[in-house]
Structure 1
């Protein structure tokens, strides 16, 4: 069913009939009341929430379902298994997750909400803004990776002359360098470039390294079907092919209606949120 948005337990659910006798039921008639009751809990916790607010909280906190043998993702439409406590907690934190420049209906809204709800991306400074159209800097990318993987680990100084150890990004950059995920420029300068913007192909390499991907065996079919692949630098091609094959990067829409890879284009914060949401939902991270 392509219209199914969320999954819930629906097999051998214990219930009672009108006479008070117990029985076990299966199917959507059992799963739907579970979802409805969770929404009731959410609106009881946050009466001012809108339906879109509640839906986005449920989608953002759902647990991805991985079943290689019976994968029905393409036909079920499910975003994963509903998580009651996580959904309520996400909705209660709505005031902290809302950004003045991110609005329902924008293509990246759910991805930004997902990134915030999972604690991997926040706003910029004290502005209350997410700045979705701002380029993702290397320091920001390192911070997202640190939030996903580090579990609070504190790393020693990376000894890069342009990494100020008093800055907000220092520990994340130190951690990425220590783990060989982002090690800085190899031009002999020993610099990291924390304020430099990432290109789309650079982001693909960072993701492949961070996830320990078997990028060499990626299927190039989806990559080859995109326009603009000839712009990909040779060193980046295996990483970009892998990212496209996994559905992490899907190209951008041009004004003329075409869809192109744009590997040398900058990756913006809204795109970063979507890429990491894709990776987490696909079980790659």
Structure 2
């Protein structure tokens, strides 16, 4: 499968999972064996019935997989690495034969370091030795010591800058590289999905927990930066658990905090959280399963004659379902018609599998009964479009070329697909016409060969950033992104 197509698939994974459940798809033809690796997130720790409520079981049921769950409560990355490199282990054959492998790892690396850090700090405060095990037990106790909890909470915020945190992150990075390398050695054809990390306290609005919230948000970002960086090698795909849980309608975690004597610092997702994680994993699997579609013969429009510069792009877009012609019976595509913002949202919504979405969030200038309601609501929910500063969306407004660049870069950035390429736009004579808010996105789009400039009769290429993007141009842009070499 082409490299750039894989890149967009990763983007679409994020677009779909950010809004939750996606309609069920047929079982993947070549993905029948599933192995889950990692920690208590994969074991379903804390659930009433992990065998039915855990995300691993939910994924297996959705996809019809034969599943081997090798996850272990409390496992850190070095323990997962030891498992996947032990060729004498009875589980090695399951790993070597798996079609799909999910990995949840990294949280315990930092938790263990946190307990070490707190033990050191609390020992200094008390003047007597305190072990990391004691700290872990105290924070998980049903009847916690309020004085101890009050002393520990401010210390947690300082953990991010500690040597223990730095050492844990460095070790995790090295171990994750080793885990992926070992899996690819044992099973080069497996689809490997790495779940990124979340902040289990993000739904608690209590000033006493603010230091904990800050510390775990920083930790999640640090771990996710390492996970995303590794995905750039195309050896695995990131499942954006952080995104889907952060955008949840209700609290997807067990953690709660009423007072210093009435709290639950359990970091695990509840049953609702596991449903969201399962939906995210299923969305990635459903999108990665299809092969790169090739245009089929017989697709044609009366206003798209052979020989036009846009012919191949429009034929590709129609044959792959990326874009369609008008449904008025005219058999026309409207290649030179301006693309509207609502139409652009619809194109991406269609590629993402048309997931259901709550249209009640639509701005006042969008009619919830119009054809564009679900696509626009979805695009705003996943932040592919951000709307105008005045709170409107402008569904019928023309999509400018610089807006198109921003929308596609937003999509790519959601999951961590590489959006670092940049180029100097000064080579284009109209570079000064680029809006400040769009210059970075256009620089990325040009550097990534998504936008190549509009060629004038004298051979000069202009960006024409403020001009409406035509339907033919968007077809070419999407072909460059999805099917470009």
Tell me if both proteins adopt one fold, taking TM over 0.5 as the criterion.
Answer: yes
Q: Shift in Å at residue 214 of structure 1?
A: 4.7
User: Do the aligned partners of 2:301 and 2:331 also contact (CA within 8 Å) in 1?
Assistant: yes
Q: Give the Cα separation in 2 of the matches to 1:85 and 1:262.
A: 32
* CA distance in 1 between partners of 2:307 and 2:291 (Å): 24
2:404 to 203, 212, 216: 203
SS of the residue corresponding to residue 155 of structure 1 reads coil
Are residue 219 (structure 1) and residue 384 (structure 2) matched?
no
The residue that corresponds to 1:243 in the other structure is 445
Residue of structure 2 equivalent to 1:156: 358
CA root-mean-square deviation: 2.4
* SS of alignment partner, residue 116 of structure 1: helix
CA separation of 1:86/1:251 partners in 2, compared to 1, >3 Å: closer, same or farther? Answer: closer
- Show the 5 A alignment for 1:102-181: 102-126=304-328, 127-149=330-352, 151-157=353-359, 158-181=361-384
State the partner residue of 1:75. Answer: none
1:84 and 1:105 mapped to 2: Cα distance?
28
Indicate conservation of the 8 Å contact 2:412/2:418, yes or no.
no
Tell me how far apart the structure 2 counterparts of residues 176 and 119 of structure 1 sit (CA, whole Å): 18
Distance across 2 between alignment mates of 1:152 and 1:258 = 39
Q: Does 1:90 align with 2:291?
A: no
Offset at residue 100 of structure 1 (A): 1.1
Shift in CA distance, 86/274, structure 1 to aligned 2, threshold 3 Å: closer
Q: Is the 8 A contact 2:293 2:320 kept in 1?
A: no
How far off is 1:85 after superposition?
11
Q: Which stretches of structure 1, 4 residues or more, deviate above 3 A after TM superposition?
A: 83-87
TM-score relative to the length of structure 2 = 0.38
Between the aligned partners of 1:161 and 1:84, the Cα distance in structure 2 is: 40
> What TM-score comes out, normalization by structure 1 length?
0.62
- Of 170, 178, 194, the residue aligned with 2:395 is 194
> Highest relative contact order (Cα 8 Å, sep 6+), 1 or 2?
2
Deviations 1:64-95 (A, max 9, x none): xxxx99xxxxxxxxxxxxx99965x822xx2x
Q: Does 1:264 align with 2:264?
A: no
Displacement after TM superposition at 1:153 (Å): 0.7
C-alpha separation in 2, matches of 1:117 and 1:227: 36
Q: Distance in 2 between matches of 1:153 and 1:143?
A: 11
Report how many aligned residue pairs link the two structures. Answer: 193
Q: Distance in 2 between matches of 1:204 and 1:156?
A: 26
d(CA) in 1 for partners of 2:408, 2:374: 19
More helix by share: 2
